[in-house]
Amino acid sequence: MAHLDGASTSLLEAGMRSFAGAFTELAFDLSLELRATGRGDLARELEACTVKAVSYDPETDMGLVALEPQRQLNAVERNVIGQKLGQVIRFSEAPYAMLQLDNFGRVVAVELVAPPRNLRWILRPASNFRWNRP
């Protein structure tokens, strides 16, 4: 069972730690566009990721949902090559969202710039949320 640092939020309870579970509408919209553009592999990976941290700054109206990919890095990838930002994918149907991939092609974050009001209501209470590892 996962434990939360700081205040608990109903959005990100232990049973809701998947990205698709915590951000249902956003995950659906992004996955739909990824599939429509031939990136079903990334859609499946995005839906399977777990939420690692959420941050939102109301002053700049920007947020970031850091994700834990299913595929872990091996020792050579982690210690020799190192993880870096690899690619940013923009969405035409959700222009406020950008999907961040690392240099190994794994989904690692969703960046949100001026998200819609309904998404802000989800981001604000979840901001500064981090999962403790068991």
Supply the DSSP symbol for 133: P
Read off the pLDDT of each residue in 34-38 and give the average, rounded to a whole number.
96
Residue range 2-34, pLDDT digits in tens = 323 333 344 444 444 889 988 999 999 999 999
Of 4, 19, 1, nearest in space to 132 by CA? 4
Q: What share of the chain is helix, strand, coil (3-state, %, to 5)?
A: 35, 30, 35
Residue range 90-124, pLDDT digits in tens = 999 999 999 999 888 889 999 999 999 888 888 88
pTM above 0.75, yes or no: yes
Residue range 45-68, pLDDT digits in tens = 999 999 998 999 888 999 999 998
Q: Report the distance separating Cα 1 and Cα 111, nearest Å.
A: 27
